[in-house]
Amino acid sequence: MRFFIGLAILFTGLHSFAYVGMDECWDVNNQPVRIQQTMAIRQAAESTIINGLPTILLHPQMMAQYPQDVQQFIVAHECSHHRQGHVVTHHYGRTLPLTSEFDADCMAVRTMKDLGLLNEYVLQDIQRFLNTLTADATHPAGNHRAQYARQCAQ
Ligand SMILES: [Zn+2]
């Protein structure tokens, strides 16, 4: 399913990002998902619901550390959490299985492929990024995610 179209350029002070093709995202209930930039999160990106509105929060400085293709993957990954209903499930207090991270990675890679944004170099950038991520209570090990993302790109 194609759920990203167009070109988004988000400006915040001196920082600007172009999430090419990543400006439109709908959640599991077909509500539009908005993107907000904030310094008040401890990671590059986070998905949540604020006042009933599905939202992707991005930390502008942490996002700026990554190449544009990885930024696109991060936004697509967060959108996939909304699209697959993970964000709503979590919001209502239910625990998500670890596989929800694999599923979001997989949908993100396939979305980028559908949009013509994926090639071998991009896939390697995404794998390099995933390999830096450490496992925690809600996230599987980065190297497993990197392997699975490549499988999804086939
Ligand atoms: Zn995730």
DSSP letters of 87-124?
Answer: HHHHHTTPPPPTHHHHHHHHHHHHHHHHTT---HHHHH
User: Ligand 1 centre and the CA of 150: distance in Å?
Assistant: 17
| Confidence at 1, pLDDT banded by 50, 70, 90 | very low
The closest alpha carbon to 89, from 137, 102, 99, 97, belongs to 97
The answer to whether the CB of 56 falls within 8 A of the CB of 34 is yes
User: Ligand 1 centre and the CA of 102: distance in Å?
Assistant: 8
Give residue 88's pLDDT. 95
Question: For the chain, how far is it from start to end, CA to CA, in angstroms?
Answer: 17
The answer to whether the CB of 84 falls within 8 A of the CB of 104 is yes
Give residue 24's pLDDT. 80
> Stretch 76-96: mean pLDDT, rounded?
94
User: Ligand 1 centre and the CA of 81: distance in Å?
Assistant: 7
User: Ligand 1 centre and the CA of 120: distance in Å?
Assistant: 22
User: Ligand 1 centre and the CA of 16: distance in Å?
Assistant: 23
Give residue 19's pLDDT. 53
Give residue 44's pLDDT. 95
Give residue 137's pLDDT. 86
User: Ligand 1 centre and the CA of 59: distance in Å?
Assistant: 15
User: Ligand 1 centre and the CA of 74: distance in Å?
Assistant: 9
Dihedrals φ, ψ of 21, to 5°? 80, 5
Unique residue bearing structure tokens 């194609």: 2
Largest separation between any pair of C-alpha atoms in the chain: 40
67: which DSSP letter?
-
User: Ligand 1 centre and the CA of 153: distance in Å?
Assistant: 18
User: Ligand 1 centre and the CA of 47: distance in Å?
Assistant: 8
The answer to whether the CB of 125 falls within 8 A of the CB of 69 is yes
Give residue 23's pLDDT. 63
User: Ligand 1 centre and the CA of 103: distance in Å?
Assistant: 9
